[in-house]
Homo-oligomer: A and B are copies of this chain.
Amino acid sequence: MTDRRLSIALPAWVDDVVDWTQQYPTDDARMRLAISLAAENIARGTGGPFGAAIVEEDTGRLVSVGLNRVVPENNSILHAEMLALMLAQQRVGSYTLGAPGLPAHTLISSCDPCAMCLGATLWSGVRRLVCGATRDDAMQARFDEGPVFPESYRYLEQRGITIVHGVLREEARAVLERYAAEGEIYNG
């Protein structure tokens, strides 16, 4: 017999810095939120330099946010996108954000997703994926992104997911560079 329970949480400061009543109508506004979460996460020492959010595409209503929590939670699954997706599905009460009757959802990530998160995006039911820093930016900062190829993106697009790269790329990359200059790179 062993522990069969997991308890996972975003740090408490998230509720102090995220305004849940605000709407995020544009990709720039959404990306600014994801980048600010990434920057705050490293400033407070609560994880790696990655932030994410889920919004309703049409209204811009914020559904969930995520942060990289790999090191503090001892859990290599807890990339920012994974937490945002799990929290969004918990909130809407469905294993797919594309369930009948739900509005279309968009995942915003401060960086191109790694192989795991790109796969998770496909299963999540989001209709759009919006990325900030690029795979190259992540690798420059010594993060491995795993087996993601051009045909990986095509695979998702063929299943109806729109993908946008490079939104506020410079700002997003700056957070990675700041972290790489000082932080612990936990994979690779």
> Which A residues form the contact surface with B (CB < 8 A)?
1-10, 12, 14-15, 20, 63-64, 70-71, 73-77, 82-83, 85-87, 89-91, 93-96, 114-120, 122-125, 144, 146-149, 151-152, 155-156, 186-187
- Closest residue of chain B to A145, judged by CB? B119
- Closest residue of chain B to A70, judged by CB? B95
Overall SS of chain A's interface? mixed
Say whether A87 contacts B123, CB under 8 Å: no
- For A86, give its contact among B75, B114, B116, B152 (CB under 8 Å): B75
* A76-B95, A77-B82 given; A4·B119 CB < 8 A: no
Contacts of A149 in B (CB 8 A): 147, 149, 151-152
Contacts of A125 in B (CB 8 A): 76
Say whether A14 contacts B4, CB under 8 Å: yes
Say whether A8 contacts B6, CB under 8 Å: yes
Say whether B91 contacts A186, CB under 8 Å: no
The minimal Cβ–Cβ distance linking A77 to chain B, given in whole angstroms, is 5
The minimal Cβ–Cβ distance linking A1 to chain B, given in whole angstroms, is 5
In the assembled complex, the Cα of A12 lies from the Cα of B4 at a distance in Å of: 8
Q: Which of A87, A119, A148, A156 has the most CB of B within 10 A?
A: A119
- For A6, give its contact among B90, B151, B155 (CB under 8 Å): B90
Contacts of A2 in B (CB 8 A): 20, 63-64, 87, 91
